[in-house]
Amino acid sequence: MAPTPPIATRGLTKRYETLTAVDRLDLEVHAGEIFGLLGQNGAGKTTTILMLLGLTEPTEGTARVVGLDPARRPLQVKRRVGYLPDAVGFYGNMTGRQNLRYTARLNGLDRRAAEGQIGAVLEQVGLDDRADTKADTYSRGMLQRLGIADALVKDPAVLILDEPTTSIDPLGVVEILDLLRGLVRERGMAILLSSHLLNQVQSVCDRVGIFAAGRLIGQGSVEELATAFGDDTTHVEVGLELTDPPDADRAEELFARIDDVATVTRPASSADEWRLDVRPASEGGRVRQAVLAACASNGLTLTSLRAAVPTLDEIYRRAVVRARAGTERDAA
């Protein structure tokens, strides 16, 4: 029998008078994965998190977090779940270590055991060299890392993060995302990450749920979502080393003659790649083989050849447009 997911909801719904913030949400997040809850502000992501933490009760449906009902046993859930809100706050006149000691006391942790855990999580998030300086000297990225350490002090089974990389510089974002990957790899945690930053979600999440107007309109890996919300087109990117301008014309003609290549887009510069749109998408593998053969037989130097997965931005826009069209049909 498959293990019980650390996060599972069935028909989870939250209404505020005439507004349905979350509409019949069915969701599972498994141990050892990062699940991205993707949607614009107001889509229902934060309301979902509040229900998972027992901070607001659902109107309908059920939620189970580490096997517990958050609406009935919120304190037990909070002890097992680490949470990083979008606006993390610490006492600025206390050091990072002192802030974590305060959290440990609030969670009833044994003082001696807590010291070891605090040292371990500070090292894990890369703050051991700044642990004893005051929090009001920390950068935004350092505060976010301290927030993750704060969530990890109680050794949770689940980590929930609400917009963890907002307002962080690009280097800080990379550090946070690398840290999350490490937590999954080393601890086998279940991580639920809520964000509206599509490229970051695509770079770190194993699976993604697309949220729009309170509804989960699609979920799966990026490849699965591309299939579900695609237009039956895949893309092949080709790198060529061309020495003479006529070679580009010859390459374009060769690629355009390959069966099922719908369009050929020449690169803007010699450092960029050619893009072939292939339709139907199922022919992408055969087209890549045909490109390889055409280059070999016509003296074109091939430097790269790969399938290009659609960006999450493309997938998200298609999913939202399709969901909106379905809502309009239902209303009519």
Chain segment 177-205, per-residue pLDDT in tens: 898 999 899 889 999 999 988 888 888 99
CATH value at residue 217 = 3.40.50.300
Mean pLDDT of the chain: 91
pLDDT at 223 over 90: no
- 157/298 same-domain check: no
For range 304-320, the mean pLDDT: 88
User: How many CB atoms are located within 10 Å of the residue 105 CB?
Assistant: 11
**Residue 190 pairs with which residues in a beta bridge?**
33, 158
Same domain, 101 and 162: yes
Q: Which two tokens stand for residue 240?
A: 């060529």
- Determine, yes or no, domain membership for 2: no
If one counts the domains in the chain, the total is 2
Which residue, of 177, 203, 228, is where some domain finishes?
228
pLDDT 10s digits, 230-285: 778 889 999 999 888 788 999 999 999 999 999 999 998 877 899 999 998 889 99
Span 160-183, average pLDDT:
86
What pLDDT, on a 0 to 100 scale, did the predictor assign at position 327? 65
State percent of the chain over pLDDT 70: 97
Residue 332 has pLDDT above 60, yes or no: no
This prediction has a pTM of: 0.81
Predicted local distance difference test score (pLDDT) of residue 328: 60
- 216 and 91 in a common domain: yes
DSSP assignments along 222-280, one per residue = HHHHHHHHS-S-EEEEEEEE--SHHHHHHHHHHHHHSTTEEEEE--SSTTS-EEEEESS
Pair of tokens at residue 247 = 């070679």
pLDDT value at residue 284: 92
Residues 213 and 240 in one domain: no
**pLDDT score of 222:** 87
Give the model's pLDDT for residue 330: 62
pLDDT of res. 2: 66
CATH number at residue 290: 3.30.70.920
pLDDT value of position 322: 86
Mean pLDDT of 154-179: 87
Q: By the 8 A CB rule, do 215 and 323 touch?
A: yes
Q: What is the pLDDT of residue 261?
A: 97
Cβ-proximal residues to 105 (8 Å cutoff; 6+ apart), any chain? 111, 114
Residue 272's domain spans which residues?
231-308
* pLDDT tens digit sequence for 98-133: 999 999 998 888 888 899 999 999 998 989 999 999
Same domain, yes or no: 112 and 170: yes
